Each structure stands twice: as C-alpha cells, then as structure tokens.
Copies of this chain bind each other. A is one copy, B any other.
Amino acid sequence: MKQDPAQALRDTGVRVTRQREALLKVLTEAEDHPDAAELHRRARTLDDSLSLATVYRTLSVLEREGVVLRLALENGGARYEVADAPHHDHIVDLDSGQITEFRSEKIEQLQREIAAELGYDIVHHRMELYCRKKT
C-alpha cells in the first residue's frame, strides 16, 4: 500500500525533486499528524536545503492531487496525513493532543441521509471528537 514516494509523485504527473521526495517520505513514515513546521524539521534531515516555503507549496500540490490530506483542527496550524488509508475521522485527546483515527459507516450513512433530505450531495466532511480520558 505504502508505495515509494518518487513513484507516487511520478503518478500524479508532477516533477520529482529531492525536496518532494524527502517531504513525502517523511509524511508517509509519520505515525502522528505533523504540521508544516514539524514536517520541515523532519524532512530537513534528508535534504537540508529544503525550505519551509517549499514544504507549504508541496503540501498544497499534493493536497490538490489527492495524495495528502490537510486537517484543520480547532487550534494551531494545519496538520497533515497521507491519503493512503480509507476515509476516517479523528478523536483529539484534549490533554495529550494525541489523535486517534476512527471510522463509522453508520454515521456516514446518516450524514448522507441528512444531506439528501436537504437536497445536498456531500463532497467531503469532517468530524472531530474532542475528548478526555474517562476517569
């Protein structure tokens, strides 16, 4: 499933550059949901010339191409993930900041029904549960 970054880039038709490979590799290997600055920090270890501007430009290209997803959580900057997994939503642990992914076909179905009743088709949606560990 997790294919080579260079190949993924080639598949989208954009130019394969050192910088893009570094960024995509780092994002593919990330277990968490890093923001642009953090991706910059990590990818710099693979290509120390990489600038933050390029990180933003690349993320924006890859988002347009459907390769990465941008999460806009409540506070702070955007966070990113590779779009290789099936669609899912997020639980944010308010204390640790940890993000857990989940998926509910039942909820998605209900969402579709609600939208349809109002004459809408859902293009995409976002759902985040801001939680605290049960005591």
Contacts and interface: CB of A to CB of B under 8 A. Distances in A.
A115 B129 CA distance: 8
Interface string A32-69: 00000000000000000000000000000000000000
Number of copies: 2
Interface residues of A, number: 33
Contacts of A75: 72
A114 B127 CA distance: 13
Contacts of A130: 122-126
A1 interface: no
Given A126-B74, A128-B125, A129-B114, A120 B107 contact: no
A133 to B, nearest CB: 6
Interface in A92-113: 93-94, 100, 102, 104, 106-107, 110-111
A91 interface: yes
Interface of A: 72, 74-75, 91, 93-94, 100, 102, 104, 106-107, 110-111, 114-116, 118-134
19 contacts: A72-B72, A72-B75, A91-B115, A91-B120, A94-B123, A107-B110, A110-B110, A111-B129, A115-B131, A120-B129, A120-B131, A120-B132, A121-B133, A122-B130, A123-B131, A124-B130, A125-B128, A126-B126, A127-B127
